[in-house]
Amino acid sequence: MEQRTEFDPLRLLDALHAGAEHDCAFTATSAEAARAWQEHAAPVLARSLGFLDRPAPPVEAELEQTVDRGSYVRERVVLRTWPDATMPVWVLVPKGLDGPAPCVLALHGHGYGVRDIVGLWEDGSERWQPDGYHKDFGCALAERGFVVVAPEISCFGERRADYSGLAGEFTGRAPDTCHNATAYAIMLGGSAMGLRVWDGMRAIDYLATRPEADIARLGAMGISGGGAHAYFSTACDARIRACVISGYFCDWRHSILTFHHCTCNYVPGLMAHGELSDFAGLIAPRPCLIEAGRRDTDFPIAAVRAAGRRGAHSAPATRSPSTNSTAATRSAGEWPTTSSPATSDRPRRPRRDAHADSGLS
Ligand SMILES: [Zn+2]
């Protein structure tokens, strides 16, 4: 039976969305207007994410393990992130540094957690050949001379939420390990992404104490859920000076609202204020490399390119006279969008190939 268009709640939501004011729509055409927009949009984003207005505790770092990985050393450190919570991070330090080196906050996406980007199999055994869709990009960065901090973010690996209360209720596709914590966070007025942005900020707090890291040359990098994390973290934390967003940068109406995705992607109320390409104005004029898979149906390449073009509008408007040549080159005109020949390593989620230079060296 044919369904009437007006029966469809998505049509209604589109109409409600179209009719909303969108107070964070980025329309600035001058640097002054862009800065005023940023002053308005930054607290809106932080409030929507939630949990970011609390005092940060001292990190109380505890080194638990050191492993020689040839050209770099990998450390496991546990940080205090809340009065009642701690978080493991992996720190990769290249050997032979002759001074503080550029550094990267490396953010994993869905899967078995941070081990998948620092050269470890899920069972904790060493891995020397990149595997999975992350391709051990934390290791690749360390091999290129970056000091890397990679946190185990909320809901993954050793920080999975307790699912015992939902045992047996799901059939078919297993529930993402994010769901319980995300639902709880939403009921408290925040989001899983808010918890994760906080995780990243605390990892940066720790990195800033490491003499090997030049915190003034800090980047953020992630793919898929890690790309989302890199996007929000860079928008929220001015200490991040450049970012690589892989497999995520696409307006939400054309990506996470068009297919079934983990609940951790959704930030309550945010689209009432603006779209992803609007809030990209909080990243500008810092360099941002957007990477997308040409055959990624979750984040369609045409919509990614459209969001990149919209996001690019913010860069010239916010560029300051002091912006260095690298930033100006990468920010001016259009955010670079690269496409990788896509080969699928899981259904519907083509692999994104090697990450490009982050502009920090
Ligand atoms: Zn998730």
Cα–Cα separations (whole angstroms), residue 359 to 103, 150, 255, 327: 11, 19, 27, 8
Distance from C-alpha of 93 to C-alpha of 72, rounded to nearest angstrom:
5
Could you tell me the distance, in angstroms and rounded to a whole number, from the CA of residue 210 to the centre of ligand 1? Answer: 30
Could you tell me the distance, in angstroms and rounded to a whole number, from the CA of residue 343 to the centre of ligand 1? Answer: 23
Could you tell me the distance, in angstroms and rounded to a whole number, from the CA of residue 156 to the centre of ligand 1? Answer: 9
Could you tell me the distance, in angstroms and rounded to a whole number, from the CA of residue 78 to the centre of ligand 1? Answer: 23
Could you tell me the distance, in angstroms and rounded to a whole number, from the CA of residue 267 to the centre of ligand 1? Answer: 12
Give φ, ψ of 86 to 5 degrees. -125, 170
Could you tell me the distance, in angstroms and rounded to a whole number, from the CA of residue 28 to the centre of ligand 1? Answer: 33
Evaluate whether residue 350 is within a structural domain.
no
Burial class from Cβ neighbours inside 10 Å (0-12, 13-18, 19+) for residue 118 reads buried
Q: What pLDDT, on the 0 to 100 scale, is given for residue 311?
A: 85
**CATH number reported for the structural domain that contains residue 58 in this entry:** 3.40.50.1820
Residues of the chain where predicted confidence (pLDDT) is lower than 70:
1, 163-175, 320-361
Evaluate whether residue 2 is within a structural domain.
no
Q: Which residue has the tokens 């939902």?
A: 166
As for how many domains the chain has, the answer is 1
Distance from C-alpha of 340 to C-alpha of 238, rounded to nearest angstrom:
29
Q: E strands within 25-146?
A: 62-68, 72-82, 85-94, 101-107
Could you tell me the distance, in angstroms and rounded to a whole number, from the CA of residue 56 to the centre of ligand 1? Answer: 24
Evaluate whether residue 236 is within a structural domain.
yes
Could you tell me the distance, in angstroms and rounded to a whole number, from the CA of residue 211 to the centre of ligand 1? Answer: 34
Could you tell me the distance, in angstroms and rounded to a whole number, from the CA of residue 155 to the centre of ligand 1? Answer: 8
Both tokens of 227, joined, read: 């790309």
Could you tell me the distance, in angstroms and rounded to a whole number, from the CA of residue 176 to the centre of ligand 1? Answer: 6
Distance from C-alpha of 82 to C-alpha of 355, rounded to nearest angstrom:
32
pTM, rounded to two decimals: 0.87
Could you tell me the distance, in angstroms and rounded to a whole number, from the CA of residue 336 to the centre of ligand 1? Answer: 27
Tell me the residues surrounding ligand 1 (ion) with CB < 5 Å: 176, 178, 262, 264
Both tokens of 237, joined, read: 């934390």
Q: What pLDDT, on the 0 to 100 scale, is given for residue 310?
A: 87
Evaluate whether residue 357 is within a structural domain.
no
Which secondary-structure segment (H or E) carries 343? none
Distance from C-alpha of 111 to C-alpha of 64, rounded to nearest angstrom:
23
Could you tell me the distance, in angstroms and rounded to a whole number, from the CA of residue 326 to the centre of ligand 1? Answer: 34
Could you tell me the distance, in angstroms and rounded to a whole number, from the CA of residue 197 to the centre of ligand 1? Answer: 14
Query: CA-based diameter of the chain, in Å?
Result: 71
Could you tell me the distance, in angstroms and rounded to a whole number, from the CA of residue 188 to the centre of ligand 1? Answer: 18
**How many Cα neighbours within 13 Å face the side chain of 261?**
22
Q: Tell me the residue range of the domain where 246 lies.
A: 27-165+172-340
Q: Give the strands of the sheet with 101-107, arranged side by side.
A: 62-68, 72-82, 85-94, 147-151, 101-107, 213-223, 242-246, 288-293, 337-340
Could you tell me the distance, in angstroms and rounded to a whole number, from the CA of residue 329 to the centre of ligand 1? Answer: 34
Cα dihedral across residues 300, 302, 304, 306: positive or negative:
negative
Evaluate whether residue 86 is within a structural domain.
yes
Give φ, ψ of 79 to 5 degrees. -115, 150
Q: What pLDDT, on the 0 to 100 scale, is given for residue 259?
A: 87
